[in-house]
Chains A and B, each alone.
Chain A
Amino acid sequence: MGRDRLNPGRVVCLSVLIAWLFAVVFPFVWVLQTSTRSTQEIFRSPFGIPSDFWGSLKANYTKAWVESNFSDYFANSLIVVLSTMVLLFILACPAAYTLARKRSRTSRFLLIYIVSGMMVPAPLLLVPLFFQYKDWSAKLTEWFSPMLSMIGYENATISLADSQPGLVILYTALALPFTIFVLTSFFRTLPTSLYEAGIMDGCSEFRVFWSVMLPLARPGLITVAIFNFIGLWNEYFFALVFINSDKYKTLPLGLASVSIQANYRSDFGLLFAGLVIVLLPTLLVYIFLQSYLVRGITVGALKG
Chain B
Amino acid sequence: MTALERNQLRFTVMSLVPPLMLFTFWIALPSAKAFYFALTKWDGLSEPEFIGPGHLASIATLQDPLVQTAVKNNLILMVVPAMLILSLALFFASVIRSGLRGGSLFRVTFFFPNILSAVAISVLWMLLYSTSGFGVFNNFLEWFNQSLIGLGARSEPLLKVPFAFTDSSILVWSIVPMMVWTATGFYMLLFFASMQSIPESLYEAARVDGASTFSQFWHITLPMIRDTVVTGLVFLIIAGLKIFDQIWVIEQQQARPDSNTLTTLMYSKIFTEYRVGYGTAIAVVLFLVILGFTLATFKLYRKEALEY
Where the two chains meet, the residues of A that have a C-beta atom closer than 8 Å to any C-beta of B are: 1-4, 9, 13-14, 16-17, 20-21, 23-25, 27, 30-31, 34, 42-46, 91-92, 94-95, 97-99, 102, 110, 113-114, 117, 119-129, 131-132, 169-170, 172-174, 176-177, 180, 199, 204-206, 209, 230, 233-234, 236-237, 240, 251-253, 255-257, 259-260, 263, 268, 271-272, 275, 278-279, 282-283, 286, 290, 293-294, 297-298, 301-302, 304
Contact = CB atoms under 8 A, between A and B. Distances in A.
A54 to B, nearest CB: 21
Given A126-B279, A279-B124, 5 more contacts: A20-B106, A123-B286, A126-B283, A206-B11, A302-B196
Given A13-B95, A279-B120, A114 B190 contact: no
Nearest to B15: A94
Interface in B94-132: 95-96, 98-101, 105-113, 115-120, 123-128, 132
Given A21-B109, A27-B124, A120-B287, A298 B189 contact: yes
B116 to A, nearest CB: 6
Contacts of A27: 124-125, 128
Q: Is the interface of B mostly helix, strand, loop or mixed?
A: helix
Interface in B125-141: 125-128, 132-136, 139
Given A94-B14, A252-B119, A129 B26 contact: yes
A124 B117 CA distance: 21
Contacts of B16: 95, 98-99, 110
A39 B8 CA distance: 65
B266 A123 contact: yes
Q: Nearest 4 pairs between A and B by C-beta?
A: A173-B26, A234-B117, A94-B15, A128-B30
A24 B193 CA distance: 21
B147 interface: no
Q: Is the interface of A mostly helix, strand, loop or mixed?
A: helix
Give the one of B22, B44, B113 with max A CB within 10 A.
B22
B27 A119 contact: no
Contacts of B101: 3-4
A156 B106 CA distance: 55
Nearest to A25: B109
Contact of A46 (B118, B133, B267): B133
B63 interface: no
A205 B12 CA distance: 9
A177 B27 contact: yes
A92 B31 CA distance: 21
Given A20-B110, A121-B242, A298-B193, A236 B134 contact: no
Contacts of A132: 30, 33
B253 A268 contact: no
A4 B108 contact: no
A236 B119 contact: yes
A173 B22 contact: yes
A4 B7 contact: no
Nearest to A94: B15
B276 to A, nearest CB: 6
Given A126-B283, A268-B134, A301-B194, A94 B11 contact: yes
B249 interface: yes
Nearest to B137: A46
B71 interface: no
Contact of A297 (B100, B189, B252): B189
Contacts of B33: 128, 132
B272 interface: no
A46 B123 contact: no
Given A17-B92, A290-B111, A92 B19 contact: yes
